[in-house]
Structure formats: C-alpha cells, structure tokens
C-alpha cells in the first residue's frame, strides 16, 4: 500500500469499531456490545488536513485458548506487522483492567510507536480516570468519545504528526472495485488469500467466520484492484444473530459499491436456491458479474465435464446468461491469474458507452427484420434509442405508447445490443419512455 497504516488494537468492548467508523466517516465496522464481533482486520481510508492513511480495525484481544480467540490474536498480529502506528484503545468508564496491561505489554515488544487512546471521555471530570492509565507506561492518553466525536480532531492531528510521509494516495477513479460474494463455505476467503498471496482473512469451515467486508488493495500491470471479501450470505430464516444480519447488509452494500462481482459457487455441490438469491442481489444492483466455480480440483472430470457443468449453471442461473464462467481452485491456484484479465474486461463492458447514431442504426436494422408487435390494431413504434448511463449500460427507448412495449420485444432489443456490442458480464437496462410532441424527450 502506498499510504501509511494505523491499526486500532485493544481488549473487547472498548469502542474500537465505533472509533473506526467515526474516523472513516462511514458505518463500515459492525458495532455490537458482544465480545468477539470484529474478527478479521477491517480497512478504511482516512483523510485529514490533506493527508491520508489506511486505518485497520481489529478484533478484541482476550489471550484465551479457544479457536476464535487464537484466530483473532493471529489477525491482530498481522495487522500490527502492516502498521506504521498502533492506537491502543482503553475504556475510561470501566477503568484499567488486567487485559489492558497484557495488550500494552504485547505492544511494548514491537518496534512501533504506540498512541494510547482513552475512549468514552464524554461528560467531563475525566482527570482521575485518565490518571490511572499512565501506569501502562505509554505516555499521555488521548481522551476521546468515539460515540460523540469528542477529541477525534485532536487525535487525528496527533496521528498525522506521528506518521511517516505517505506516497501518492490511491486515486479512486483508478480503482476497480471487486466484491467476492457467495453463501458460506464456498471458498471466498480462500480465494482472497490466494489473490493476496498471504493469509489475509480467517479461513475456517465454521459458517459465518467472515462477518465484515474485508478490503484488499492489489496493483497488477498498472491497474489497481480493490477486492472485498464478504460474509457468506445465508437464508434470512437462518440469520438468528443481529451481528450476522448486519454482516449480510454490509455484504449487500459491498455489492452495490462494486464495479465487478465475483459470484463464487462450489463445484462439489449443485447450484442452490440460495446461490440464486445471492446472484440475484448482484444482478438487481446492476453490477458486472463473473461466475467463479471454485473447488474445481475436487471434481472428477473428463473432456465433457466442464461443458456439462457450464450447461447446468446456465440452466440454473438463466438470468445471468450474460455472465462469463471461470473454473478455479482457490486451494491450488488453478486459473487464478486469469481472473485479473477477466475482471478488467467485464469492467470495461460494464462502463461501455455507445453513440446514439449507432444505436439508431441498430434499431432500424432490428425493426426491419422483426417488426414491433401490434396490440388491438395499434403497432408499437420505436422512434429512437439513446444511452442514458453506464454501470450498468442503461438505454432509453422512446416509443409512441409504452403499453405496447412487451417485455419479449425488449428482450429481443437487448439481445441485438449484445450481439452487436458484446456487453459481456454486465446487465443491460432498457427504460421505455413516451416521446412527447415535437420529439421532446
């Protein structure tokens, strides 16, 4: 990453995710009073006084021996390795606890600057509460209220003062945003880890392990990709935890923010109804879509197997007939390198713009071969077609009477657009409008 990195570390429930959301100015991290909610490293970009840095939210450290606690500890260690500055967050209301000492002792062993942040400082009269935290030996605490925003400006000033000068910030316009979606255990986190070349998120066969959307910035052949791994989306009836519910909402937001969505399927299982629902989210959001069939290494196959799988997927996900299909193994890395080229291609198709003159030539040819339908003696007349937006490509169809524009003829026009211009991997929107008098739009 070209920007410096700041990691927020501390025991559970001191307000790390609240501070993260406050500084990033988005509700990205899930805020919940249940210990262990934030498990993976969560990234956000912060801008202050013309400087930018990456901020990492981490899970609450407990140093316990259960599996999830150990995984959280490992993820915190990875965040610390990336960081230029650590924010050790403590809670003024609960006071100094033994766990605070343990976290501070762990950080003192690192060759990194540590800034002590005392949260929940609203209401005044905090001097006595602050004083006991000097015992951690990390200097003067920065008093804030993450929930109310108090003291966060002073905190940001201090962060900028302690950070090394960053390189040129990432230009949002240069980014290709890629969301990785699918139901639990299809291999989304394993795919992201393989792309990153490191253990970037917790990989586990426990459904729901990835609860937040996880960002990974990769630069390849002068193109920057921002990959977002999302929580496995389950059926609503299966979502009995508020935390998981919000994680699903976050996954949906990640889809809406993406340029391209990787819809991950499990090659060892048939396409499920839940796969269809998840794919439908991306389709309805109008994102570019690539169907990624994972665990291909586990399938017994001959020369016909891939074609049979592809045909079955086309039948099961008929509404994604435009989406390319790629067969991969996140475990072995099979065809992972091809994803980058395919993502860039689908993003280009998703952002394609066609001149109105070309579109009207297409309409003239199409209507000459297949005239518009007639209803009750009245024929549909298509005056012209014009593109009104991209991402997804959206076209206004100006007609004499919108009620005559049957969906089957609109589908015919969509197919003509695809035959002529491709639009592979992207949905197409056709908006029927009645032309006003004198040809007004």
Mean pLDDT taken over the chain? 85
| pLDDT tens-place string over residues 88-107 | 999 998 899 999 999 999 99
Q: Which residues contact 181 (CB under 8 A, 6 or more apart)?
A: 188, 230, 233, 251, 254, 255, 261, 262, 263, 264, 278, 281, 282
Least confident of 28-37, 97-106, 415-424: 28-37
Q: Which residue has the tokens 């609450």?
A: 60
Burial class (CB in 10 A: 0-12, 13-18, 19+), 103: buried
Q: Which residues contact 24 (CB under 8 A, 6 or more apart)?
A: 44, 45, 46, 55
> What is the value of pTM for the model shown?
0.64
Q: Which residues contact 168 (CB under 8 A, 6 or more apart)?
A: 2
Go through 51-63 and write b for each residue having 16 or more CB atoms within 10 A of its CB, e for each that does not.
bbbbbbbbbbbbe
322 pLDDT more than 50: yes
98/102 Cα distance (integer angstroms): 6
> How does residue 66 score in pLDDT terms, banded at 50, 70 and 90?
confident
Task: Read off the pLDDT of each residue in 335-341 and give the average, rounded to a whole number.
Answer: 92
Which tokens belong to 175? 């980014």
> How does residue 248 score in pLDDT terms, banded at 50, 70 and 90?
low
133 pLDDT more than 80: yes
> How does residue 50 score in pLDDT terms, banded at 50, 70 and 90?
confident
Which pLDDT score is estimated for 38? Answer: 43
Which pLDDT score is estimated for 209? Answer: 55
> How does residue 81 score in pLDDT terms, banded at 50, 70 and 90?
confident
Which pLDDT score is estimated for 389? Answer: 95
Does an H or E element contain 171, and which? none
CB neighbours of residue 160 within 10 Å: 18
Domains of the chain: 5-162 (3.40.50.300), 172-350 (3.40.50.300), 356-439 (3.30.300.20)
246 pLDDT more than 50: no
Which pLDDT score is estimated for 208? Answer: 54
């Amino acid at each position: 990453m070209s920007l410096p990195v700041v990691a927020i570390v501390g025991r559970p429930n001191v307000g790390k995710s609240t501070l993260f959301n406050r500084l990033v100015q988005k509700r990205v991290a899930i805020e919940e009073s249940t210990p262990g909610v934030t498990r993976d490293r969560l990234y956000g970009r912060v801008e202050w006084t013309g400087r930018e840095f990456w901020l990492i939210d981490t899970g609450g450290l407990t140093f316990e021996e259960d599996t999830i606690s150990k995984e959280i500890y490992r993820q915190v260690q990875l965040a610390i390795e990336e960081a230029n500055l650590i924010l050790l967050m403590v809670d003024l209301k609960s006071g100094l606890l033994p766990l605070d000492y343990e976290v501070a002792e762990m950080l003192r062993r690192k060759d990194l600057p540590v800034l002590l942040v005392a949260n929940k400082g609203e209401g005044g009269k905090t001097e006595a509460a602050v004083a006991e935290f000097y015992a951690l030996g990390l200097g003067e605490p920065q008093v804030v209220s993450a929930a109310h925003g108090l003291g966060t400006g002073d905190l940001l000033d201090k962060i900028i003062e302690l950070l090394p000068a960053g390189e040129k910030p990432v230009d949002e316009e240069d980014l290709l945003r890629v969301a990785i979606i699918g139901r639990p255990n299809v291999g989304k986190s394993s795919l992201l880890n393989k792309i990153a070349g490191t253990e970037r998120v917790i990989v586990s066969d426990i459904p729901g392990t990835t609860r937040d959307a996880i960002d990974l910035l990769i630069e390849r052949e002068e193109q920057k990709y921002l990959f977002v791994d999302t929580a496995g989306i389950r059926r609503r009836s299966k979502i009995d935890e508020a935390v998981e519910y919000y994680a699903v909402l976050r996954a949906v937001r990640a889809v809406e923010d993406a340029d391209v969505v990787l819809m991950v399927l499990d090659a060892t299982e048939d396409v499920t109804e839940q796969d269809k629902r998840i794919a439908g989210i991306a389709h309805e959001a109008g994102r570019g879509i690539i169907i990624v069939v994972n665990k291909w290494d586990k399938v017994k196959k001959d020369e016909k197997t891939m074609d049979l799988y592809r045909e079955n997927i086309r039948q099961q996900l008929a509404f994604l007939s435009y989406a390319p299909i790629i067969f991969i193994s996140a475990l072995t890395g099979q065809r992972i390198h091809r994803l980058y080229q395919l993502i860039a291609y689908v993003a280009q198709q998703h952002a394609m713009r066609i001149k109105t003159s070309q579109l009207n030539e297409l309409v003239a040819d199409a209507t000459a071969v297949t005239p518009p339908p007639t209803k009750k003696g009245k024929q549909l007349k298509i005056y012209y077609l014009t593109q009104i937006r991209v991402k997804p490509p959206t076209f206004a169809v100006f007609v004499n009477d919108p009620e005559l524009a049957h969906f089957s003829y609109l589908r015919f026009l969509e197919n003509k657009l695809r035959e002529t211009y491709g639009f592979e991997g992207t949905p197409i929107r056709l908006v029927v409008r009645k032309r006003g008098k004198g040809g007004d739009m």
